[in-house]
Amino acid sequence: MAKPRHSRLDCNPGCAVEATLRLIDGKWKGVILFHLLDGTARFNAIRRRIPGVTPRMLTNQLRELEQDGLILRQVYAEVPPRVEYSLTERGRSLAPVLEALRSWGDANLALFGAAPPPPAVAAA
Amino acid sequence: MAKPRHSRLDCNPGCAVEATLRLIDGKWKGVILFHLLDGTARFNAIRRRIPGVTPRMLTNQLRELEQDGLILRQVYAEVPPRVEYSLTERGRSLAPVLEALRSWGDANLALFGAAPPPPAVAAA
DNA sequence: CAGTATCCCTGGTGATACTG
DNA sequence: CAGTATCACCAGGGATACTG
């Protein structure tokens, strides 16, 4: 890798949580990783699965994921160009994390609108 | 809650992942939640456990977590003021997620420096 | 003790257009 | 097809000082 990208973490307990978060955070990374769990995909294929992402952002996020060793970028020297993205072993090892995130989301965010909390107890 | 805070999610598969990430992302939220797993804590107590966080940011993050129904803010009308933060049921239900994040982090980020990937296979 | 109030700055993200 | 290049915006976050 070129630069660490991840500035500095004040390593308390909980540091590992933050560190992991940094890797999968970033507006599209979660979705990208999640889709790649299904298998290898090409740039525009991923793009089509994520409405709203611009090529610039998609490239950006993919490169960061690659830098972090989570995905593999396979370039085939063909014409027309073909580039395939897939999870590395390390990326695939995130599956339980992603699954935990997804299932919590499913259970707790009715859909995504965030209808948050059942009222809290009174006390004082 | 006042405003949804969470603009809009393009709900594909993977949406739930993103949605959950939005709740626990935010530079200090992971650490905060993690510390609160230990039990109730006061403002300055939390602050002391997180070197580098400013009061402004701590307040900010705590308020967002509260808005999202993950933590409970107990204000005691005393002097000197006392405010205690604790996880709600919903917040506590994040424990497995946080644990997944933490254990992945422990296993995969040697410490936090991010010494990423064992070299990939060659192919083309 | 538990915050607010201000100022400021960076960088993450969007829009659009162009290319090997 | 798979990106780059450029411009621009503004929300997130840091520093510092003040308050009920």
> Per-residue pLDDT tens for B90-115?
999 999 999 999 999 999 976 444 44
Q: Which nucleotide has the shortest C1'-to-CA distance from B25? A: D12
Residue among A52, A21, A41, A54 nearest A87 (CA): A41
pLDDT reported for residue B119? 40
> Per-residue pLDDT tens for B51-66?
899 999 999 999 999 9
- By three-state DSSP, how is residue B3 classified? coil
Is 0.95 surpassed by the pTM of this model?
Answer: no
Name the residue in chain B with its Cα closest to that of A99: B17
Q: Is the pLDDT of residue B40 over 90?
A: yes
One-letter amino acid at A79 equals V
A49 neighbourhood in chain B, CB within 8 Å: 12
B15-104 CATH: 1.10.10.10
Q: Which nucleotide has the shortest C1'-to-CA distance from B54? A: D14
Residue A25, chain B, CB below 8 Å: the answer is: yes
Of A2 and A110, which is predicted with more confidence?
A: A110
Average the pLDDT over B29-50 and give the result.
95
Residue B97, chain A, CB below 8 Å: the answer is: yes
- pLDDT band for position B10 (cuts 50, 70, 90): low
Q: For strand D, is any atom closer than 7 Å to the CB of B31?
A: no
Name the residue in chain B with its Cα closest to that of A93: B104
Which of A1-15, A104-118, B3-17, B75-89 shows the highest mean pLDDT?
B75-89
> Per-residue pLDDT tens for A19-37?
899 999 899 999 999 999 9
For chain B, the domains span 15-104
pLDDT reported for residue B16? 87
Report the interhelical angle of A15-24 vs B15-24 (nearest 10°): 140
Residue among B62, B48, B116 nearest A68 (CA): B116
For chain B, the average pLDDT equals 84
pLDDT reported for residue A113? 46
Contacts of A24 (CB under 8 A, 6+ apart): A30, A33, A70, A94, A97, A98, B21
Contacts of A124 (CB under 8 A, 6+ apart): B74, B75, B76, B77
